[in-house]
Chains A and B, each alone.
Chain A
Amino acid sequence: MKKRALQISLNDNIAVALDRFLAGEKVELYNIEDQFINKLTATEEIKYLHKIAVRKIPINEAIIKYGEVVGYSCKDIGAGELVHTRNMASKPQQD
C-alpha cells in the first residue's frame, strides 16, 4: 500500500506523515482533498504524525502548517528531513 503524508495547505513547507517512514522510503504527498501532489524521499526516519520537510528550508525561514506560521527553522533543513525540536523553534534565531 502507498505510504502517504498530508500537506494540509497549498503553501505549507512541511507535511504530516500518515505512516512511519524509514530513511530512503518513498513518501506520496496528498492534499486535504485526498489528491496526489508529489513524491519525495524520506532522508531519515519520520514517525507517524511527525512533520517532514517537503522542500529545502534554509535557517530562520518560517515553518508553514495549516497555511500559517507555526515556528521557524533553527538549522538548514533538506527536503525529506524530519522537522521537530532539533531544527524548529517558536521564534527565529537571534544573531
Chain B
Amino acid sequence: MKLYGFVRNDDKVGFRNKVLLLPAVDCVNDITYKIAQSFDDVSTFRFSTGCGMLPEDVEQIMHTQVNVAANPNIAAIVIVGMGCESIDLEALYERIKLLNKPCSLVKLHSEGGYNNFIDKVKRLTNTYAEDISKARREIVPISSINLGLECGASDPASGISANVALGKAVDLIIEMGGTAIFSETPEAIGTEKILAKRCSDKNVADKIVNIITGYERMIKTKTGRDVRSANPVPGNIKAGITTLEEKAMGCILKGGSSKIQEVLDYAELPSKKGLIFMNTPGFDAYSLCGLIAGGTQIIVFTTGKGTPCGTPISPVIKVISNTIAYNQQKDITDYNAGMLIDGVKNLEQITDELMQLIIDTANGTKTKAEILGVNVMDIWPLYGTF
C-alpha cells in the first residue's frame, strides 16, 4: 500500500493539488463559481453569508477561511471580495500570506468595474493553475493522512456495517501514526459519558462533555425544546432504534476504539495526531467545511440511504450500510459495507477493501462525487446575518 502525495512548504501533505478561489462574501460567489468551472483543478465553495455579521461571526469566518486555505490539498489561493464585507480583507490576506503559499487578493471596488475584476481573477487563476501543475507526487507515509469522518442519511444498519468497518480502518490509520477527525456534536448527545471515558486525559474529557452539553443547552435556549424528545425520530424507532443513546453510539463507532487526543472548536487546526473530535453542527455543508479547515485531505462519509455530498477541496468517499440502498444509489456511492450484513464478506475483508479505497483515493482515483462535481460546503455562522 504505497501512498503518494504533494509535500507542501510546511511539510504537510496534500492528496489533491488545487487553486482555491476563496469567496469573502456571498455577493462574489456567482463569479467564483463561474470562473472555477472554466478551469481544471480550480475550486471554490458556496459561502452563503459574509455581510451584516456580529464580531463573533467575523472571527469565526476569518479563522475558518484561513484554515480552509491552509488545507494541504490547496496549493495557491485567490481571495475574491467586494471591499465592503464584514471581514477585513487586508487582515485576511495578511493571515493567509503567512501560510507561505502563492496568494493574491482581488477586490471589486478597487478594479474599476465588474469585467476588469473578473479579468483579474481569471488571469491570476490561470497563472496559479499553470504554476501548481508543476508539482509532483512523492512517496509519503500513512501517518501523513488526516481523515475526516462524517455521516448522514443514516439507518440502523449504519451502526452494524459501515460505521463498524470505518472504525476499524480508522484504528489502523491511527496505529500507523495518522490522524482522524470526527464531528457533528448534536449526533453525540447522549454519549458524553462514554466519550469522556475514551479521552486521553481529564482536560480533554471535560472539554468534550462541556461542548456536547453546551450544544444541547444552546438548542434549548434557541428553541425552548428538548433535543432528546425529538430523537430518535419516528423513522428510527420504526427501523428498530429504541433510545437516543443507542442511535448516538451507532454514530460514534466510526471513530474506532482509539483514545481521543484533542477536542477542537469549529474549524480549528489540530495540534495532536490520533483521534480528534471537532465541534460542528450535524448539517453536512457546515460540518464538511469544519473538517476541511481541520486539515483533513480525505473524508469518509457513511450513509444508510445514500447522499450526493462531495466537497471541492477534499475527496469524499461514500460508504453505504446496506445492499438494497447501494443497488439504488450506485452512481453516488463508492463502497457497499452492506456485504458485511449479507454475510458475503467478513469484517476483515471489508476493512481491508475500505483501507485500499482510502489509499487509492489519496493517490488520485476520483470519488463518485468528484466525477459528478458535487460541491457541498459552507462556513457555519454562529448567529448568521442581520
Residues of A within 8 A of B (CB): 4, 6, 8, 16, 18, 32-34, 47-51, 63, 65-66, 68-71, 83-85, 88-90
In the bound complex, do residue A33 and residue B347 qualify as a contact, i.e. CB atoms below 8 Å apart? yes
A9–chain B nearest beta-carbon distance, Å: 11
In the bound complex, do residue A71 and residue B157 qualify as a contact, i.e. CB atoms below 8 Å apart? no
For the complex, give the distance between the alpha carbons of A69 and B243 in Å: 11
In the bound complex, do residue A68 and residue B341 qualify as a contact, i.e. CB atoms below 8 Å apart? no
Q: Which of B239, B242, B249 contacts A83 (CB 8 A)?
A: B242
With contacts A6-B160, A68-B194 known, is A34 near B347, CB below 8 A?
A: yes
Closest to A70 in B: B246
For the complex, give the distance between the alpha carbons of A65 and B346 in Å: 20
For the complex, give the distance between the alpha carbons of A27 and B97 in Å: 63
Q: Which residues of A contact B155 (CB under 8 A)?
A: 49
**Does B384 have its Cβ within 8 Å of any Cβ on chain A?**
no
**Does B237 have its Cβ within 8 Å of any Cβ on chain A?**
yes
Residues of B within 8 A of A (CB): 155-157, 159-160, 164, 190, 194, 228, 237, 239-240, 242-246, 249-250, 253, 341, 343, 346-348
In the bound complex, do residue A88 and residue B242 qualify as a contact, i.e. CB atoms below 8 Å apart? yes
With contacts A32-B347, A85-B237 known, is A71 near B159, CB below 8 A?
A: no
In the bound complex, do residue A65 and residue B343 qualify as a contact, i.e. CB atoms below 8 Å apart? no
Q: Which residues of A contact B157 (CB under 8 A)?
A: 49
A40–chain B nearest beta-carbon distance, Å: 18
B20–chain A nearest beta-carbon distance, Å: 39
A1–chain B nearest beta-carbon distance, Å: 9
B386–chain A nearest beta-carbon distance, Å: 38
With contacts A49-B239, A51-B240, A83-B242 known, is A66 near B249, CB below 8 A?
A: yes
In the bound complex, do residue B242 and residue A85 qualify as a contact, i.e. CB atoms below 8 Å apart? yes
In the bound complex, do residue B347 and residue A88 qualify as a contact, i.e. CB atoms below 8 Å apart? no
B352–chain A nearest beta-carbon distance, Å: 14
Q: Which residues of A contact B253 (CB under 8 A)?
A: 66
**What would be 20 A-B contacts, judged by CB atoms less than 8 Å apart?**
A18-B343, A33-B346, A33-B347, A33-B348, A34-B343, A34-B347, A47-B240, A49-B157, A49-B160, A49-B239, A49-B240, A51-B240, A51-B242, A66-B249, A68-B245, A70-B245, A70-B249, A71-B243, A84-B237, A85-B237
Q: Which residues of B contact A83 (CB under 8 A)?
A: 242
Q: Which residues of A contact B164 (CB under 8 A)?
A: 8, 32
For the complex, give the distance between the alpha carbons of A34 and B237 in Å: 26
For the complex, give the distance between the alpha carbons of A50 and B239 in Å: 7
In the bound complex, do residue A84 and residue B240 qualify as a contact, i.e. CB atoms below 8 Å apart? yes
> Which of B239, B240, B242, B249 has the most chain A CB atoms inside 10 A of its CB?
B242
A28–chain B nearest beta-carbon distance, Å: 11
> Which of A49, A65, A85 has the most chain B CB atoms inside 10 A of its CB?
A49
Q: Which residues of A contact B228 (CB under 8 A)?
A: 90
